Structure 1
């Protein structure tokens, strides 16, 4: 088995370093963490060549980001590595909430059957990065350069000029566009004189990765004020390889260096598990956190994604998940512009949409942190009263906040959406991420709707058989041909095997949903003709701006 935490990647001198003048590249991605790797893979699948620079030659260590949501797994499926993630990860849907010594309630994040992926998997970040890096190695359009640290960035009228430091000395590189995926301490942000603004929370938490065999289910367990860690909170998650992650709230006055020492951690773990518990301490870290973001994620020809653009508390698993969704949103738009299928204005929508999503994540993250870590006696009295009521009253459980878990933002206000002209029920509104559902594929085998959608293209989901649906499919093909933009078509019969898809999309014979390459709904109709499909396509590409 590969030890991804100890991997070291070779630095290799590149011909660009010996060029007489800076070489021009269409796109440079800075940072080979989960977000940068995902973005590079997505762009390569769109047939866009990518230079991916990383200042180090290692993957992450310790658990760090571990909870990867259903939507992120669907993105990983599209990137060609979802199966590996799920096979290795610990799948879970159920969470349990405790107050002091008593379980007060549980919740199921995926109560309905008919989904290809679980609500979440727990998988250490080094596995995620390792699997993504191995996928990168399969794609010749990605030029991954380890130990290439960006130390200078200057925006020109038609490109960005980067200075890159290597073990062989510096060189300069030009790029039509740059994606900054270089984390919360983003060097790109600093080089451009930019900053993130928001709120820092005055609290400290200890992460302890503990290896042991523990007879507990793969569930999320969260304690408020438990007997074994009074006046604080504790979170427990199962990870692969018999590793469990435990987050202990410590308080603002805790000494980070002292709290990372084994002699401080081991008694805390034994208080949770029992004095006779057998375990090995694998990794530990003490963290603080902030909820903040940059004012604008697009800065000329530089685009910020993931933690370089926004930061949240770890409660709710909104950091890495939202970063991967940033990458997916940006990839198809950059590809469309670089292929001259869309104007530069389409790239502005990246900022508008993902800033909206970041604000939603920050709001949820802030509310969770305020509930988990009350900063006044009144706040604590309110929280504890809610927790007491939640034992027996369902209404109070909606007020309990141990971290509203990550779901993708519904981009209701996006300018790329075509407003409805027909009546629909349910959640598949323009701007929503398309729901998955079981389908029967063209070869007669069982499959999944999102896997039948175009990997890097707009997709029309056409419901029903017969002449009405056939006319709709022809209208889609005609609109795509007229626009010069490929549209994949998925036909979904209205019958018993497709009852979930029909219900989730409130479909009738002839209903059409138009999905963007990132699988967000951008338009839907009960009856479609080539003219309205073409207009929706133009709107989604900003061709009518």
Structure 2
């Protein structure tokens, strides 16, 4: 029988809550479910919440009785916050997190590169927000409890999966023994050590790097702003790299590379941790400052992905689908994008709005995103932790030149995680005007936010279905467009129409935003009345027109919902 720990995890800043296990004896016979989700990490819970937004219930099972141990993911990007806004947790993240936009690369005591992430008045969220993963998971758990469509089962561990042609049989172990669930679809969000992936004997493609890194969270009072600090080739750890991040509640993340050959168990000994953290504090001028350890771990950099995230009736997402280096904040942030994509694709298939070809599109898009990230993260990893003598010689040359030569300094850029643009998605409309635009988000890109008021932004009003942004000064949408929208809605497809430009409500639109100064049009590259954008349920662009007519709108919906 599965016996998860009932002791609260130790922490000097977070109060762990131990939840009661879900026990089969306390419930009746189990029906066949639409969706079972294995794993209560960021990807699993966002997938459940997104499915719920589309009206699809799910059962979420997790082996543990409490949120994850340690801060783990601590940096969340603007796009992640936009996704979390959709599922109702962004406000709590913002209220309790630390926003930032600058990163510093330091060599021999000199700041040789300063990264500045773009930020404008049109952005609701900062480029980055620091908050420990326990809090993020807590907020998602509360949202799951409030949804009414998520059956959250603590202390339930998936131990076996058997696939049939149209469903999966999932064996789950609990503190009182096993039971079986039948489900149309199983989402494997059970993390980097996915037992479901292992049980199906699936192999990941890519590379693992030999270097090991220690993460240590310490409580200490340091007078530095919330900015990324990267120290290259420090005197106490020659040839290696140290990263530092401020976290809420007086916690600092210290992330350092180990010398070749050192074993993880030796690196995590208290005396080793103390010596290295003391050396780092001394190097930054704060030797002797008292500090207290909260949590520590060892990780390695890996760039691996499954070649397909749809395996029969099992759908892989998050770290169960791919393993990415944390450099550039790619772990949880990529998982959010995975989960958002998977949920709307799956919901539309379950509701009969599209065929299972839609799931193949999800896999192709997200595998493509993982491979793009692997390419970029590999560059960052090879700079942070050179895998060969040749890479180290090159990296050391950059370090040396950067003290006096401006042209090499951008090589320090850590290629921060960004939302993938589905440029070649099968859902993009081939008959639109994408190639004629000179500005605005292109095929497959997420939308650009626009400030509408003091605390009012475009993305506050989008999401949950298809969004048609129609730019017009007229009093109403053309009747042929209204007819197409009515027909699509008649098939059960959620569509919201937003008119942009008119000072008064536009007949046929669900909402109207004025654009007296033309700023909205400028952001979207629209210069004349009649232009439009069609956004998918994950807000990514699937069609845009300089002038929209009913025939092309109908064709775009047909393309985006394959039958």
TM-score, length of structure 2 as denominator length: 0.90
Native 8 Å contact 1:468 1:510 kept in 2: no
Native 8 Å contact 2:467 2:535 kept in 1: yes
**Residue 413 (1) aligns with residue 424 (2):** yes
1:14-53 mapped onto 2 (5 Å cutoff): 14=24, 18-19=28-29, 23-53=31-61
Q: Tell me the SS of whatever aligns to 1:23.
A: coil
1:456-467 mapped onto 2 (5 Å cutoff): 456-466=464-474
Task: Report the Cα distance in structure 2 between the residues aligned to 1:251 and 1:426, rounded to whole angstroms.
Answer: 48
Task: Report the Cα distance in structure 2 between the residues aligned to 1:214 and 1:472, rounded to whole angstroms.
Answer: 63
RMSD between aligned alpha carbons? 2.2
- Unaligned ranges ≥5, structure 2: 1-10, 503-513
1:430-483 Cα shifts (integer Å, max 9, x gaps): 10111111125xxxx751111111x31111112242258666973663453465
Q: Tell me the SS of whatever aligns to 1:307.
A: helix
Instruction: Rate the CA distance shift 1:15–1:327 in 2: closer, same or farther, 3 A.
Output: farther
What does residue 9 of structure 1 align with?
Answer: 19
- Quote the offset at 1:228 in angstroms: 3.9
1:103-182 mapped onto 2 (5 Å cutoff): 103-182=111-190
Task: Report the Cα distance in structure 1 between the residues aligned to 2:116 and 2:477, rounded to whole angstroms.
Answer: 37
1:278-303 Cα shifts (integer Å, max 9, x gaps): 21111111222321111211001110
> Given the alignment, which residue of 306, 309, 333 partners 2:345?
333
Native 8 Å contact 1:101 1:227 kept in 2: no
What does residue 429 of structure 1 align with?
Answer: 442
Native 8 Å contact 1:30 1:36 kept in 2: yes
- Unaligned ranges ≥5, structure 1: none
- Quote the offset at 1:3 in angstroms: 6.7
Task: Report the Cα distance in structure 2 between the residues aligned to 1:93 and 1:534, rounded to whole angstroms.
Answer: 42
1:82-481 mapped onto 2 (5 Å cutoff): 82-274=90-282, 275-391=287-403, 393-401=405-413, 403-419=414-430, 420-421=432-433, 423-426=436-439, 428-440=441-453, 446-453=455-462, 455-466=463-474, 474=482, 477-478=485-486, 480-481=488-489
**Residue 533 (1) aligns with residue 541 (2):** no
Native 8 Å contact 2:209 2:387 kept in 1: no
Q: Tell me the SS of whatever aligns to 1:171.
A: strand
379-388 vs 523-532, greater mean Cα deviation: 379-388
Q: Tell me the SS of whatever aligns to 2:533.
A: strand
Instruction: Rate the CA distance shift 1:84–1:2 in 2: closer, same or farther, 3 A.
Output: farther
Q: Tell me the SS of whatever aligns to 2:56.
A: coil
TM-score, length of structure 1 as denominator length: 0.93
Native 8 Å contact 2:32 2:183 kept in 1: yes
What does residue 8 of structure 2 align with?
Answer: none
Task: Report the Cα distance in structure 2 between the residues aligned to 1:252 and 1:4, rounded to whole angstroms.
Answer: 34
1:303-325 Cα shifts (integer Å, max 9, x gaps): 00000000011111111111111
Task: Report the Cα distance in structure 2 between the residues aligned to 1:261 and 1:63, rounded to whole angstroms.
Answer: 19
**Residue 517 (1) aligns with residue 537 (2):** yes
Native 8 Å contact 1:17 1:172 kept in 2: no
490-499 vs 418-427, greater mean Cα deviation: 490-499
Native 8 Å contact 1:472 1:527 kept in 2: no
